[in-house]
């Protein structure tokens, strides 16, 4: 029994090290089968219930509901409403604290972590031409993400052919790429473009410097993914922090100690003798 447990721990360590090597070398890592399908199903129910509240037919499929509403509500506005529902039910925290995912962030940016609550919700629809919905090659760095932040992307509704993402392998090592109208002015001719082959239950983590773009949807069912930016809470996100929102989802021992002290002045004995039971 003990040998089996040790073998399992060794395998987890080797897997984590491989993931970290991929992220360091390629600028992204695809984590296979890390999100429980039960959690994916809960997310799907949450999204469909929100679509129903917004006026979609109650017994229709996600595809039919989304198409119905997007005719009367601009997709960007509709997607924001869906993102609020996802955040309200605390799904981001449940996703980001999955051990295999959390370990990646621990090893790259530390234990004091927050996710962006003002992120867009990407929904990929067949025939969509708006480049705010079907993105050209870009770096999240262009939109203000710090160079020590990472993006998280996980498909929720993903049917074969509905489009994933293309990643420019190793582009995170190219630095801040010159750009105009939200796309690179130039890319190396030998740039290696990797199409992400993934399924529901997989998750992608990539650097804010990694070039990536939306793969066009070729089928009738929209593809919906949850995405956000993750940063260390003690580092600035960008020069426009006041325009974005964040939710802390993990803190380390040092931060927990600061929180117990109660304020940044570390007032002496502020909580000594308190009978309160902390909720978090």
Q: Could you read off the pLDDT of 23-64 as tens digits, one per residue?
A: 999 999 999 999 999 999 999 999 999 999 999 999 999 999
Closest CA to 92 of 35, 136, 138, 52: 35
Buried b (16+ CB within 10 A) or exposed e, 95-104: bbebebbbbb
In DSSP terms, which residues pair with 150 in a beta bridge? 207, 230
The domain spans of the chain are: 12-252
Report whether 101 contacts 205 (CB < 8 A). Answer: yes
Confidence of residue 3 (pLDDT cuts 50, 70, 90): low
- Structural tokens at position 113: 């972590």
94 has a pLDDT exceeding 80: yes
Confidence of residue 278 (pLDDT cuts 50, 70, 90): low
Architecture of the domain spanning 12-252: Sandwich (2.60)
Report whether 150 contacts 205 (CB < 8 A). Answer: yes
Only one residue has tokens 């117990």, namely: 260
Confidence of residue 260 (pLDDT cuts 50, 70, 90): confident
Q: What is the pTM of this model?
A: 0.91
């Amino acid at each position: 029994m003990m040998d089996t447990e040790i073998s399992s721990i060794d395998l987890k360590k080797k897997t984590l090290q491989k993931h970290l090597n991929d992220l360091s070398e390629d600028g992204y890592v695809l984590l296979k089968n890390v999100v429980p399908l039960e959690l994916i199903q809960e997310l799907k129910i949450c999204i469909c219930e929100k679509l129903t509240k917004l006026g979609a037919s109650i017994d229709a499929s996600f595809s039919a509901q989304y198409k119905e509403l997007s005719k009367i509500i601009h997709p960007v506005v509709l997607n924001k409403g869906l993102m609020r529902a996802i955040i309200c039910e605390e799904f981001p925290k449940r996703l980001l604290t999955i051990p295999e995912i959390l370990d990646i962030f621990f090893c790259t940016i530390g234990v004091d972590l927050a996710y962006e609550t003002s992120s867009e919700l990407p929904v990929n629809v067949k025939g969509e031409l708006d480049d705010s919905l079907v993105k050209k090659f870009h770096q999240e760095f262009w939109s203000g993400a710090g160079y020590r932040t990472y993006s998280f992307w996980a498909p929720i509704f993903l049917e074969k052919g509905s489009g994933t993402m293309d990643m420019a392998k190793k582009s995170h090592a190219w630095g801040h790429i010159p750009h105009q109208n939200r796309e690179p002015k130039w890319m190396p001719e030998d740039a290696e473009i990797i199409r992400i082959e993934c399924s529901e239950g997989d998750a992608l983590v990539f650097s804010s410097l990694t070039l990536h773009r939306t793969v066009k949807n070729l089928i009738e069912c929209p593809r919906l993914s949850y995405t956000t930016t993750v940063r260390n809470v003690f580092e600035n996100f960008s020069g426009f922090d006041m325009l974005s929102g964040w939710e802390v989802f993990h803190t380390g021992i040092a931060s927990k100690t600061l929180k117990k002290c109660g304020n940044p002045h570390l007032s002496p004995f502020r909580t000594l003798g308190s009978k309160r039971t902390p909720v978090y």
